[in-house]
């Protein structure tokens, strides 16, 4: 009986991802009703702080991979981080996300701890704090949790083990099982856990994406961020023949993935990935229409934004942080959404699973 239900779900998800334009437009009101019912009609902002592009890993798709010698490496000072936190607070964003390339050396772990202490001291509880800092030991994750971080994003990138192997070097730094294990640890420590995948990566099929959605359900995640793959010129996955059509079809697929996921897991938080906006200027707003309820405006100091290039054509690199807010307010009203200012905007799923 259960198997039958599972097969039906799998078939439906496959249909969602391959719907034509007309069928998709008919499906959207159903998705919107689920949004209203389970997460409400507000969109929540998280100020995104790109702390550093120094990374020990060498993922084949990523522009800040260790062996990309053309990347200009930086790490924000504590003052710069705190001014980005201040901007987020002043703009009433409610939460921040601290993201960086992966490092687990003591200096880095201690630096994050000192940032968290500073945030706690200044804003105790007034700002939600999400970390997106890769695989870390349980002791480190525990420490950061005790210092006030309460959500953690760690994308699995693909739930297909063979594909994971193709997208990463074959060594202990890029181990599929370790990544899954870290997702489990995050949950044990008590974080609201987020993951996600690349959409339209090399050799990935629609069936793989259906399995990704089922994977999210099987690990019972609280938050998802997923966006289209965009090939970066200084990576092994650069495809000089990539056309606008290729990007557009990945974009369409990414929106369908968001809607399918809202149907499958209606009470989780789903972020509108910035890579959507790199393909279409209205990408994030379209993601909200498709079922996303989180947007991460960039609050990184302008001079460093350009260096945090995971993929080319990154949007908003020329805007100052405060310019993003007015722009986003206007854009969201175009899709009939309001913003949950000064609210953490936690995933209802997290509280319902406790």
Indicate whether 163 belongs to the interface with ligand FES (CB under 6 A).
Answer: no
Interstrand relation of 151-153 and 128-132 (parallel, antiparallel or unpaired): parallel
Alpha-carbon distance of 305 to 298, in angstroms, equals 8
Alpha-carbon distance of 128 to 105, in angstroms, equals 25
Give residues 39-98 in contact with ligand FES (rule: CB under 6 A): 55, 57-59, 62, 64-65
What crossing angle do the helices spanning 2-18 and 244-264 adopt, rounded to 10°? Answer: 150
Q: Which residue bears the tokens 């940032």?
A: 115
Residue whose C-beta lies closest to ligand FES: 59
Residue 128 interacting entry, from ligand 5AD, ligand FES, none, C-beta within 5 to 8 Å by type? none
Q: Which residues contact 241 (CB under 8 A, 6 or more apart)?
A: none
If the CB atoms of residues 57 and 314 are measured against ligand FES, the closer one turns out to be 57
Give residues 97-156 in contact with ligand 5AD (rule: CB under 6 A): 155
Rounded to an integer, what is the distance from CA 186 to the centroid of its chain?
A: 16
Indicate whether 135 belongs to the interface with ligand FES (CB under 6 A).
Answer: no
Of 224, 230, 286, 294, the one binding ligand 5AD by CB under 6 A? 230
CA torsion angle 306 65 225 148 (round to 10): -80
User: Closest by alpha carbon to 295, among 354, 235, 244, 335?
Assistant: 335
Contact pattern for ligand FES over residues 96 through 115, marking x by CB under 6 A: -----xx-------------
Of 311, 314, 325, 350, the one binding ligand 5AD by CB under 6 A? 311
Binding site for ligand FES (CB under 6 A): 55, 57-59, 62, 64-65, 101-102, 134
Binding site for ligand 5AD (CB under 6 A): 61-62, 155, 157, 198, 227, 229-230, 232, 275, 310-311
């Amino acid at each position: 009986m259960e198997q039958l239900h599972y097969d039906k779900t799998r078939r439906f998800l496959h249909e969602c991802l391959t719907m034509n334009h007309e069928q998709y437009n008919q499906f959207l009101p159903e998705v919107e009703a689920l949004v209203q019912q389970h997460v409400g009609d507000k969109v929540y902002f998280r100020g995104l702080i790109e702390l550093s592009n120094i990374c020990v890993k060498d993922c084949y798709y990523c522009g800040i991979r260790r062996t990309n010698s053309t990347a200009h490496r930086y790490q924000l000072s504590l003052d710069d981080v705190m001014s980005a936190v201040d901007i987020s607070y002043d703009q009433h964003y409610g939460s921040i996300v601290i993201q960086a390339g992966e490092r687990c050396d003591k200096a880095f772990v201690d630096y994050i701890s000192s940032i968290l202490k500073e945030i706690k001291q200044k804003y105790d509880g007034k700002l939600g704090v999400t970390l997106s800092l890769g695989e870390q030991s349980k002791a480190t994750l525990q420490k950061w949790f005790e210092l006030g971080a309460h959500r953690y994003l760690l994308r699995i990138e693909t739930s297909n083990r063979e594909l994971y192997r193709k997208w990463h070097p074959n060594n202990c730094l890029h181990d599929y099982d370790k990544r899954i294990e870290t997702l489990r640890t995050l949950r044990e420590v008590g974080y609201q856990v987020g993951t996600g995948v690349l959409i339209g990566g090399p050799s990935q099929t629609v069936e793989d994406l259906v399995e990704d959605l089922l994977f999210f359900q099987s690990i019972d995640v609280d938050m998802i961020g997923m966006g289209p793959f965009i090939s970066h010129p200084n990576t092994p996955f650069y495809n000089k023949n990539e056309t606008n059509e290729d990007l557009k079809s990945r974009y369409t697929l990414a929106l369908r993935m968001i809607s399918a996921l809202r149907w499958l897991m209606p009470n989780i938080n789903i972020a509108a990935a910035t890579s959507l906006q790199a393909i279409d200027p209205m990408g994030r707003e379209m993601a909200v229409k498709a079922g996303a309820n989180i947007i991460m405006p960039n609050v990184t100091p302008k001079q460093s934004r350009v260096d945090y290039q995971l993929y080319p054509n990154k949007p908003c690199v020329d805007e100052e942080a405060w310019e993003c807010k007015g722009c986003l307010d206007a854009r969201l009203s175009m899709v009939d959404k309001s913003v949950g200012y000064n609210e953490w905007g936690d995933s209802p799923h997290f509280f319902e699973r406790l």
